[in-house]
Chain A
């Protein structure tokens, strides 16, 4: 029986977290996707949406047989009225391609997305390595510039989604200011494909910056907190404030020839704006810091360093990666505690936003990881935050709770899931609270 009207020429399968093999289907249109969903609904199977495949480690293993829905054939620009500073694209478009198109009009989506090759998916097709728009929305990807520009929730103004009945619904619109109806865009961003499959999205855009710069300051572990606090309270307005522990600094900044005294942390402030404003801020920061002279990269010379900071979150050579969200003021102490307990961890913080990403290197076992995780979760809890494990061997996931203990609103999230996907078609079991 012809179940899948999509392009089946790949004839391939994919394992997600050791579950599978799951056959891939590749819809060529929203209508075909609708048929796929209706077929899944009628035969009681699950659907696992797939973009560039760079984040398949995130979440719990799948719970039910079904198909992987490769969205990358839906990769067209639907509308790009550059002077309105909005763009509408299909969800399977690579973010890198989108940024390229926007850059022609001196525009951008100011969200940093690591472009690393997929760790899980064999690179069998051109472009298979790239994060897609739908994928970054589902996982709510962000990077250093989130301090100055916010996250995806601040840029999605319209969304179209295939629901559990194979019918496409939309929310929002194509104008930058709109309060008609519930803002389902917010609900879909970061929902890990559990409420439906995103087919199309409209972003509001920002202009490319005239000028940008990064100012890097090495510091000893004991002065990290003070340095971060000083930059935070500076007259300057950094759009990024990153802190890297010595291991992360030596690994991630190895290629950008930044002078790094052994055993030192690296704090990096990022600035964007017109030339006058950026140059003034770089000078002002140096003045405020007094004795320490920041190593400054400005304009094109800053680009490799920005890239290194962005790519870090997807560092490939690690078995275990965690992400903590904390009060920004607690970031330095949290990082220091991680360093004390697990000295080889590569740790980098978006210190202005309280987000810490750590890659565990060395010989980590499941039980040792679980034990450390418990300590970090307790620490994070004291700073009003949580710790999730964004990557670990799937075999560990029956012991390691990757999303962490649930909060008081988890039952309500499940209620929302039940309403949107009562038969559990979309990514069942993979998200927070087993959603």
Chain B
């Protein structure tokens, strides 16, 4: 952190760049920015700035360079992994005022936007033309596309449509030395390295993205949304594998286990059976023609796997209620316990029955209730550990249980994060997933963009001697 006189100088100069409306430096204002959706660790930035143009970002970044202070970009702060945590203080560059949709070109199927555009705004903006932005994280009403780019966000529809990187064509990025680089663009296959592809998911450690060329996707003509009710998680999982094995790629395949069903039913009264082992939301989308054939095939497969019943959402209202139940399941968990903590592991799809048994066993061993609602088609689990954060001993058990679950994901050949990112939360898992040689190459890559490490320090990659002390406590989260 800069010395006081220096920081006064810094604030004055930030004021000159963005004006008094564009800087926060009072402690009472900064408290809001000391964490994101990951609330275990808190670090207060020295200032938060709200640039409205790329030029302002350049000036801010250059100023930070002159003063030798770290900086980091921030979108809506919905990160669940501490991606926006200003470790070591410094200047937080909030991109929320760079929120213009600069161009929409439906013929060439792209849009150019600023990073502060909220995910759902773009999709709403495209609705009249029959297009949408495909990545749809459950936080899409709040999260920004700049943030989606940083974490390579997913969502329920990634099984068929892919994650953020599959929908980003080009970027404008301000590097830590203030140079502005444009990578890619509205066309495909530009010669040279795919820098765009590697900047997506770099969690703000390469620079500040100030403009994004995204691919836009035609809306499906129709949907068939089915709810399969199963006695056991195994039957539900086998159904998933068989559907995909039959050559059908559903738009979404989401699983809810018994515990989460209780909460969701209490909140939304959808009519979920409270005694089911698991339910699957299975949705196929696309052209109207052929959808019924796919739906029939899915129903048959579910029945072969001993589904107690398969219901169809017969109206659009029913379909929307079903999706609301799914997307707001985390909110409903509040009915079960005062606090909860969610994880973001990934396993090969066929290992789902195994990992769910492991989760149950871990829950029993630590005397914790764990609910499951997740993107089953991708093998991306989100176990929700219920607890009471006022009980310190319980909090310790929650963290130990969460880590055991993630360790088992690694043992299954999976990953510790499917869509939330490493941030600061999972930095300790990186050496478990990657060898020193792997990490060394990642450090080499980062040094091409961010050689001095002043942009988003202490994120993603563990650095020798810069180990972060993680205060272990509970947290709330929504995915």
Contacts and interface: CB of A to CB of B under 8 A. Distances in A.
Nearest to B186: A384
B202 interface: yes
A278 B286 CA distance: 12
Given A354-B187, A412-B181, A432 B108 contact: no
A175 B348 contact: yes
B450 to A, nearest CB: 11
Interface stretch (B315-323, B386-394, B438-446): B438-446
A81 B245 CA distance: 12
B187 A383 contact: yes
Interface in B154-191: 154, 158, 162-163, 165-166, 175, 181-183, 185-191
B166 A154 contact: yes
A195 B441 CA distance: 11
Nearest to B154: A177
B294 A235 contact: no
B437 A180 contact: no
A433 B192 contact: yes
Given A167-B437, A179-B420, A85 B197 contact: no
A207 interface: yes
Contacts of A353: 188
Contacts of A42: none
Contacts of B442: 171, 181-182, 184
Interface stretch (A22-30, A115-123, A299-307, A413-421): A413-421
A408 interface: yes
B424 to A, nearest CB: 14
B188 A325 contact: yes
Interface string A176-190: 111111111011011
B287 interface: yes
Given A179-B152, A209-B247, A416-B448, A187 B197 contact: yes
Contact of B192 (A146, A275, A410): A410
A203 to B, nearest CB: 14
A208 to B, nearest CB: 7
Contacts of A430: none
Contacts of A175: 346-348, 378-379, 413-415, 418
A262 interface: no
Contact of A403 (B191, B290, B375): B191
Nearest to B81: A179
Given A186-B197, A325-B190, A163 B441 contact: yes
Contacts of B349: 83-85, 176
A175 B244 CA distance: 15
B414 A163 contact: no
A388 B189 CA distance: 11
A366 interface: no
Interface residues of A, number: 89
A67 interface: no
A206 B249 contact: yes
Interface stretch (B257-265, B326-334, B360-368, B425-433): B425-433
B179 to A, nearest CB: 8
Interface string A390-430: 00000000000001100111101101111110000000000
Contact of B445 (A182, A278, A383): A182
Given A169-B438, A175-B348, A182-B442, A328 B197 contact: no
Interface in B449-476: 449, 460-461
A184 B350 CA distance: 26
B278 interface: no
Among B181, B192, B430, B447, residue most surrounded by chain A Cβ atoms (within 10 Å): B192
Interface in B397-441: 413-422, 426, 429-430, 433-435, 437-441
A383 B415 CA distance: 41
B287 A237 contact: yes
Given A169-B441, A173-B415, A177-B158, A277 B287 contact: yes
Contacts of A325: 187-190
Given A169-B437, A386-B190, A409-B195, A178 B415 contact: yes
Contact of B430 (A176, A180, A273, A420): A180
Interface in B75-106: 105
B194 A177 contact: no
A231 B441 CA distance: 45
Interface residues of B, number: 89
A250 interface: no
Contacts of B202: 182
A327 interface: yes
Contacts of B444: 419-420
Contacts of A280: 287, 289-290
A177 B193 contact: no
B125 interface: no
Given A179-B418, A207-B244, A327-B108, A407 B192 contact: yes
A142 to B, nearest CB: 8
B198 interface: yes
B193 A191 contact: yes
Contacts of B346: 175-178
A151 B291 CA distance: 26
Contacts of A140: 189
A388 B193 CA distance: 14
A306 B328 CA distance: 45
A179 B419 contact: yes
Contacts of A15: none
Contacts of B421: 179
B430 A174 contact: no
Given A327-B108, A329-B108, A388-B191, A180 B416 contact: yes
A222 interface: no
Contacts of A184: 198, 441-442, 445
Contacts of B16: none
Given A84-B350, A178-B418, A412 B188 contact: no
A174 B201 contact: no
Contact of B245 (A83, A170, A404): A83
Nearest to B184: A409
19 contacts: A84-B379, A173-B433, A175-B415, A177-B346, A177-B418, A180-B417, A182-B442, A189-B194, A207-B246, A207-B248, A276-B290, A277-B287, A325-B187, A386-B191, A413-B193, A416-B193, A416-B448, A418-B448, A432-B192
The 10 closest A-B pairs by CB, nearest first: A186-B197, A277-B290, A280-B289, A207-B247, A276-B290, A177-B418, A432-B192, A178-B415, A84-B348, A325-B189
Given A174-B348, A407-B192, A408-B182, 20 more contacts: A140-B189, A151-B188, A163-B437, A179-B422, A180-B422, A181-B422, A186-B196, A207-B247, A276-B289, A277-B286, A281-B287, A325-B188, A329-B107, A354-B187, A385-B190, A407-B190, A409-B182, A409-B195, A415-B449, A433-B192
